[in-house]
Structure 1
Amino acid sequence: MKIIYTICGEGIGHAARSKAVLDHIFADHEIQILAGHRAYEYLKRHYAHVQRIASFRIAYWRNRVTSIGTFFLNLYFFPQIIFSLVRTILLIKKFKPDIIIDDFSWVGGYAALFTKTHMVTIDNQHIITNTQQEEKKFLLDRLKSRIVIKWFVPRADKHLITTFFNPKIIKNNAILIPPLLRNEILDLHPRKGGYVFLYQTSKTNKKLLQILKSLNVPCIVYGFDKSETDGSLIFKRSFQQSFYEDLANSKAIVLNGGFTLITEALYLKKPILAFPVSHQYEQILNAMELKKLGYGEYYLKPSAEVIKTFMSKLSIYEENLHRLTFDYQKPFRVIDAALKDTLKETKHEQT
């Protein structure tokens, strides 16, 4: 089966999830990998012939998504994105894939639309558009997010949606699946160390670092693209091999609200303190569900008080986490079935 796999370049989460899928399907299919920005940098370390595509990005300011900054940032990159779309369409004409698998890549979505190629999405973003959301507090952020998602992915044959909670599905072509984890995570043997693992999507949340340092909380910090020590904070670069061991041996995890790292922390049974990026509804939703299930806490703004409260309740979160189970092989069975069904449809259309 011929497959083109297109991957969003914002953050590492899309690349990490896609690697789990690629490791499963790579040996049995002929695959072209197209990845943007940070996803390209990550995946080229693991696969030969990964092609770079331009992708939309998010601009941050003081741990908030800035709409104006995001607009001008992507206005600058837009010619490159259009060029990537044209290159992808030409690749489709030449390679003739049976299917496009897409992890929230604008280029992949529109290349599939313009060439009428079958497409299956594998992401967590479509939980916002394809399932029932009942909270009212962040209604405007949710509506904006729904518009962006529908614009990013105008159509797909199936939406395979990774999730750690169970909302009601409202679209017939949506399937909820457990989290997709890399082998690097599944092979870990976690223990409880004496430090907190800290990862931030946005490098602008300096206040959180100042508070942790003032409380003298030992932390190993990723996401700030530097290697240095500052008081109780040890900074490391994100692509270091030590990332996995540092994650597995921490006593708790502090993050924004990215789906992939949350699900990796859940697998490792680590309590989570989330400070979702303001106006990024996907992170807010993940953080709210995390708290609702009793696996950690979330707050919109960091303070010494909330960090102390979280640290005092680690044993409660650990007890809840030890009752958590997922069938981590189920996603691969669902993916195999989706690919098989799509191949049947393709062959039927050709006869």
Structure 2
Amino acid sequence: MKIFYGVQGTGNGHLSRARAMAGALSQYPDIEIEWLFSGRPREHYFDMELFGDFHCRSGLTFHSEAGRVQPLKTLRNVDLLGLRRDIRALDLSGYDLVISDYEPITARAARRQQLPCVGIGHQYAFCHDVPERGGNPFTRAILQQFAPVTTAVGLHWHHFDKPILPPIVDIDHGDLAGGCEQNKVLVYLPFEDQAPLLALFRQFPDFQFHIYASVHEWRDDDNLHTRPLSRDGFRRDLADSDWVVCNAGFELISEALQLGKRIMAKPLSGQMEQLSNAAALEQLGYASIEERIDRRALEFWFDCEPNAARPCYPNVAEALARWISEGCAEPVEMLCHQLWSESDIAPPQLQRQQVA
């Protein structure tokens, strides 16, 4: 089976999910995969050896400053003519299946060439009635039409009685078994101004903050430890941290939940997906949500008793790889029921009735 797999490269969460899927699919020698990533320049990707000689395109992305989406700058930076050219130039003949992790070029090229396209990603969960915040008819239409597919496989922290799968979590079993360093805090806030954050974290000398940001070298300054983006280093620090401070993206929070971390999440203002993620986390009781990370918020969070809620998700990447290798023949509802049955969350009632 030949697969063309497109990945939205604007966030590292999509890349983590793609790495998990690449590893799971590699167990099937009859599957050949060609990868395309869009949303950032090739030189801004890192640790990409797993994907071989991948394609890279500009695609579509949003512009943000100081923790807020900037709609006008986003529109000014959109190259719709270039996007149209890339869609028309992508030749998918000879491929049996197209997979899109919310990547618009592959999804729209597959539609144009009338090829089956499976969408795997968190954004496809919004095809269903899940917790939502900050949306309007226009933003909902963009979210649902950004990367249209023939079969949508949505991922979320809970099924909300809809045919949605658990998250694809890219962690090792050894990470689950490891211990935590007391008062070690992992910080990943790429959309925020870093200088005010560093000044804030200095006010908590009893905590060691390991901050991943767009820097070129390690910097250690008392309780502040700034690190350049690195998959292996980030995974190590995530595994033995006690606390995680991050934006409300999907993949990192999924990994932190699986590892049992205490989470503070600040949604990116003006970004419907992150605002909706915050609403879901509040509803589920999985994280502390803050519109602004300041001294008051951190003091309250550090003093609170840990939340007992910690979901345990099955190996979704492995199940999806098997499903793909079998031609995606099994209904998504069946896969949904199976995977939630393997978690510590009861399967959706609606699907249990359908598959009984």
CA shift for structure 1 position 134: 5.5
Q: Are 2:232 and 1:245 equivalent residues in the alignment?
A: no
Query: How far apart in 2 are the matches of 1:335 and 1:145?
Result: 31
Amino acid of the residue matched to residue 66 of structure 2? R
Query: How far apart in 2 are the matches of 1:38 and 1:204?
Result: 20
Alignment match, 2:128: 131
Q: Are 2:206 and 1:220 equivalent residues in the alignment?
A: no
CA shift for structure 1 position 132: 1.1
Whether the 8 Å CA contact 2:46–2:230 is kept in 1: the answer is yes
Alignment match, 1:180: 168
Which residues of structure 2 form unaligned runs of 5+? 331-356
Alignment match, 2:252: 261
Query: How far apart in 2 are the matches of 1:264 and 1:39?
Result: 26
Query: How far apart in 1 are the matches of 2:195 and 2:98?
Result: 39
How has the CA–CA distance of structure 1 residues 73 and 231 changed in structure 2, closer, same or farther, with 3 Å as cutoff?
Answer: farther
1:106-121 matches, cutoff 5 A = 106-121=104-119
Describe the SS at the equivalent of 1:20.
helix
Query: How far apart in 2 are the matches of 1:286 and 1:162?
Result: 12
Query: How far apart in 1 are the matches of 2:142 and 2:290?
Result: 24
Q: Are 2:11 and 1:11 equivalent residues in the alignment?
A: yes
Amino acid of the residue matched to residue 180 of structure 1? I
Q: Are 2:191 and 1:202 equivalent residues in the alignment?
A: yes
1:277 aligns with one of 256, 265, 268 = 268
1:1-351 matches, cutoff 5 A = 1-26=1-26, 27-37=29-39, 41-42=45-46, 44-75=48-79, 78-88=80-90, 90=91, 92-93=92-93, 96-128=94-126, 130-133=127-130, 138-139=133-134, 141=135, 143-154=137-148, 156-169=149-162, 175-182=163-170, 184-188=171-175, 189-193=177-181, 194-204=183-193, 206-216=195-205, 217-227=207-217, 228-239=219-230, 241-313=232-304, 315-317=305-307, 319-321=308-310, 324-328=311-315, 330-338=316-324, 340-342=326-328
Whether the 8 Å CA contact 2:202–2:223 is kept in 1: the answer is yes
Amino acid of the residue matched to residue 132 of structure 1? D
Whether the 8 Å CA contact 1:103–1:122 is kept in 2: the answer is yes
Alignment match, 2:336: none
Query: How far apart in 2 are the matches of 1:114 and 1:339?
Result: 24
Describe the SS at the equivalent of 1:208.
helix
Amino acid of the residue matched to residue 49 of structure 2? R
CA shift for structure 1 position 237: 1.0
Query: How far apart in 2 are the matches of 1:300 and 1:168?
Result: 28
Amino acid of the residue matched to residue 50 of structure 2? H
How has the CA–CA distance of structure 1 residues 44 and 133 changed in structure 2, closer, same or farther, with 3 Å as cutoff?
Answer: closer
Q: What RMSD over aligned residues (CA atoms) do the two structures have, in Å?
A: 2.4
Query: How far apart in 2 are the matches of 1:25 and 1:39?
Result: 26
Query: How far apart in 2 are the matches of 1:325 and 1:116?
Result: 38
Of the two structures, which has the highest relative contact order with CA contacts closer than 8 Å and spacing of 6 or more?
Answer: 2
Amino acid of the residue matched to residue 190 of structure 1? G
How has the CA–CA distance of structure 1 residues 206 and 286 changed in structure 2, closer, same or farther, with 3 Å as cutoff?
Answer: farther
Query: How far apart in 1 are the matches of 2:275 and 2:236?
Result: 27
Amino acid of the residue matched to residue 218 of structure 1? Q
How has the CA–CA distance of structure 1 residues 35 and 62 changed in structure 2, closer, same or farther, with 3 Å as cutoff?
Answer: same
Whether the 8 Å CA contact 1:8–1:35 is kept in 2: the answer is yes
TM-score, length-normalised on structure 2? Answer: 0.83
- Count of aligned pairs: 322
CA shift for structure 1 position 105: 0.7
Amino acid of the residue matched to residue 150 of structure 2? D
Structure that is richer in helix per residue: 1
Which residues of structure 1 form unaligned runs of 5+? 170-174, 345-351
Query: How far apart in 2 are the matches of 1:134 and 1:192?
Result: 32
Whether the 8 Å CA contact 1:7–1:39 is kept in 2: the answer is no
Describe the SS at the equivalent of 1:13.
helix
